[in-house]
Amino acid sequence: MNKVAAQAGISGQFTIKAVAQATGLTVETLRAWERRYEVVQPSRDGSGRRTYSASDVARLRLLRSATELGHTISRLAQLAEDELAKLVAESGGQARSAVARGQTYVDRALDATLHSDPSGVEEVLTSALALLPPNEVVNSVLVPLVREVGERWHRGEVSIAQEHMVTDIVKRLIISVSRGYLRSDQGPCLLSGERHELGILMCSWLAATRRFRTHYLGVDCPAEEIARFALEVEARAVLISLVMPENEVPALDQLARLAQSLDGRCEVWVGGIAARMVASAEIPSGCVLLPTGLDFEQRLDLLAAQYYS
């Protein structure tokens, strides 16, 4: 069993040290918040040490964000996760600024797209890559750009050639920038996807920024082959992207086969647009549903904190 599996297990329980690293809170703060305000209720392992679930970590990250925005922990401790998320969203000037910054790049790239100017598109995106942090480039520039180009293509405002142009540029830039990161020989995160590969490649880049070695196996790779490769390279996680809602049922069957082949030795992370339409109860055992980019980054941070602690 690999190091992470031994510490966390497929059930996703994490040590207080890993949670502190993943949330940015000190161990002392975590203990104080639990003791005084019962913000989360961690479990205990066989040795009596605190262990936390992924949902505990999500709540703690929201609490930290809200306190940094000026709210008191005594008030926040009583709020549910959806209330915390709403409070952070309504108070988060930083998040709004990131969206505004990203939109300027999106608008310029769209203008170059409409003028069939690949050099212009590449120049704009290269500038974003150089000036913005990776997660901001992904969430505020690349994802909105690809989505807007796709929607305009459906409305007939962008030609298929222009759409392919943007897709190719984004793909090449992501692959190029991912290779620029120093990658560890340990802690690999295995990535695999469907026909629409841009989302998987963006996730691969975000994993690389956290010192994970990543592997992309392309499209239509059989579940058994993915599992065999994952075990050979001692992967810590396999990421599967579901993007076509009409393929939901066969995809769930393939996920079940994949999880069965991995036999609890590696987590299966399930993301993508179609993943948001799948109920948690329908996800096979051994798989973790990550419907949003934030969920994916949180899981990455937890895995990194466990491995490098």
Task: Give pLDDT tens digits for 186-228.
Answer: 554 555 555 567 888 898 888 888 888 888 887 778 889 999 9
Are residues 146 and 167 in contact, defined by beta-carbon separation less than 8 angstroms?
Answer: yes
Are residues 235 and 266 in contact, defined by beta-carbon separation less than 8 angstroms?
Answer: yes
Domains of the chain: 3-90 (1.10.1660.10), 93-179 (1.10.1240.10), 189-308 (3.40.50.280)
Residue that is written with structure tokens 């993007």 in the block: 243
Tell me the helix, strand and coil percentages in the chain, rounded to 5: 65, 10, 30
**Whole-angstrom Cα distance, residue 308 to residue 3?**
10
Residue that is written with structure tokens 């709210």 in the block: 71
Of 28-37, 179-188, 237-246, 248-257, which range is least confident? 179-188
Residue that is written with structure tokens 């988060």 in the block: 92
**Residue 53 reports pLDDT greater than 70:** yes
**pLDDT tens digits along 10-44:** 446 888 888 888 888 888 889 989 998 899 999 98
Strand residue runs (E) in the chain: 14-15, 43-44, 50-52, 189-192, 214-216, 237-241, 267-271, 287-289
Q: Which residue has the higher pLDDT, 294 or 119?
A: 119
Q: What is the mean pLDDT of residues 3-10?
A: 39
Mean pLDDT of the chain: 83
**Other C-beta atoms within 10 Å of 98: how many?**
18
Give the model's pLDDT for residue 244.
67
**Other C-beta atoms within 10 Å of 298: how many?**
18
